[in-house]
Every structure is written in structure tokens, then in C-alpha cells.
A = this chain, B = another copy of it.
Amino acid sequence: MNNINTDARTLQARFLHLRENKIFETFVILVIVLSALVIGAKTYPIPPTVMQVFHVLDTAITVFFLVEVLIRMVAEGSLIRFFRRGWNVFDFVIVVASLVPVEDSEVALLGRLLRIFRVLRLVSIIPELRVLLSAFVKAIPRMGYVSLLMFIIFYIYAAMGAMFFSKINPELWDNITISMLTLFRVATFEDWTDVMYETMAVYPLSWAFYLSFIFIVAFVFLNMMIGIVLETLQQEHEEFSRETGEGEAGEVHWIRDHTEAMEQRLARMERLLEEMNARR
């Protein structure tokens, strides 16, 4: 019993060693890139024999990813500790999802779709990309309320658009969902004048609808961008001052306190000198 336990521990240590091996990591990256290339190659017309090769490759990659995740699980020692880190969950979901068979014609499309997301494993394995993605995820809540405001603006304009223009061109303004899509198109300046000229033929003043919409959306977007820049700048500044800047401010404060102490001492000394002088 003890023997088995020792064996398990040795195995775990060996797996840990393997996981942290630089060559192993490079190999994993190469396999991910290979899987990406296979995904890309499959979008070209390929002869059946090559397809067979791809099929074997695909199975091999799937098995390899499964084994790699299992190695990391064992190396971690405990399932709870493994799943506590978000990136492990991320990898696990992608690996399990790509176990969906592609042979079965019904779920084949889903299987192929899920295999595409294996390319995302590049993000979880390269530290620099992980940092970038974390920064993006952190910025999402900041944008939350601005996005809500933007949505309200789109909703109001879309409701107005659907109310007035639905009979002019049902393809663009039939209901609130289609109207919002049309307004998004206007916000990207994509053939927005065609949309405008069409409604201006019926309502000559409808240019005010489009221009006010473009101004408001551009303005909200501009403010959002500036807000993000300012918030990020402030965070950087605070971190910077916490590390080095407070050094100077702290020293100045130290000097202030000690200057006060010195003054008191000097006052005492002067009094002493005066006494000595007077006594003589």
C-alpha cells in the first residue's frame, strides 16, 4: 500500500518535471500550431488520401491534448487545485470539447467548429498573450455602463426608426432588432447615406435623425475612449508612486519632522549659552 503511494508520488514528481520542461512546452506549442494548420488546410479542396492523413493527424492531436491535460492534472496533485486556476479550466473545456467526434454526420459540423477553438490554446500557453487577455478581461467592467448607455441610445433610435421608416424599407426597419442592426451599420458609416436618402424621400427632415445619432454615438464613444485612457493612466501613476514616488514624499516628511526636532534642540542650546554668558 505504502509502495503504491510512493509510486504515485514518484509519478507525480516526474509529471511535474515533464510539465515544466522547456522542450515539452515548445513541443506543445508546435502541436497547437500544427492543429491550427490542419484546420486551415481543411478549408481548401483536398484529395481523399490527404484527407485520410489529416484525419489520423487530427486524432493524434486530440489524444495528445488529452494526455497533456491529464499530465498537468496529475502533476498538480489535486483536482480542486487544478480547476482553481482559470486557464486550466479554459484548457480543459477546449480539450474536452474537441472530443466530440467529427465522423458522425450530424454533429460533425459542431465537432469541427469546436476543433477551431483549439487555436485559442496558444493564448493560454504563451505568457505574454495571457497577460494581454487578462488586461482585456479587466477592462470589460469599466466599459459596462458605457455599453449600457450606448445600448439605450441604440434602442431609442431603433424604436423611432421602426415606427417611422418600417413602411419605407422593411428590409432595414421592419422591427426593432433589424433597425438596431441598420443603426450599427450607420454608426460604422457603411453606405449610411443610401439609408438616409431613402427615408429623406418620404420625410425630408429625417437627416436630423441620422446626424443626431452619429454625433451622440461618436461623442459617447470618444468619452469612453478618453475615460479608459485616463483610468489606465491613473492606475499606472498610483502604482508608480507606490513603488518610487512615495520615496521622495516620505523623505520630505522625514526631513520636516527632524527639522522640527533640531529646532527644539537648538532653542535649548541657545538658552544654555545665554545663561552661561549671563552668569559670567
Contact = CB atoms under 8 A, between A and B. Distances in A.
A262 to B, nearest CB: 6
Given A254-B256, A279-B280, A207 B181 contact: yes
What is the interface of chain A mostly: helix, strand, loop, or mixed?
helix
Given A43-B179, A229-B229, A277 B272 contact: yes
Contact of A190 (B36, B149, B166, B192): B192
Given A43-B175, A191-B191, A222-B228, A269 B273 contact: yes
A128 to B, nearest CB: 5
Contacts of A219: 136, 139
Nearest to A146: B132
Given A193-B190, A236-B230, A266-B266, A123 B149 contact: yes
A263 B266 contact: no
Interface string A205-218: 00100010010000
A268 interface: yes
A99 interface: no
Contact of A162 (B43, B122, B139, B226): B43
B266 A120 contact: no
Given A129-B149, A162-B43, A226-B228, A273 B272 contact: yes
Interface string A113-133: 100110110110010110011
A129 B224 CA distance: 12
Given A39-B159, A228-B222, A261 B263 contact: yes
B259 A255 contact: yes
Interface stretch (A17-25, A53-61, A78-86, A244-252): A244-252
Given A43-B179, A230-B233, 18 more contacts: A43-B175, A44-B176, A112-B163, A116-B159, A126-B145, A136-B219, A190-B191, A222-B228, A229-B229, A230-B232, A247-B249, A248-B248, A251-B256, A262-B263, A262-B266, A269-B269, A276-B276, A276-B280
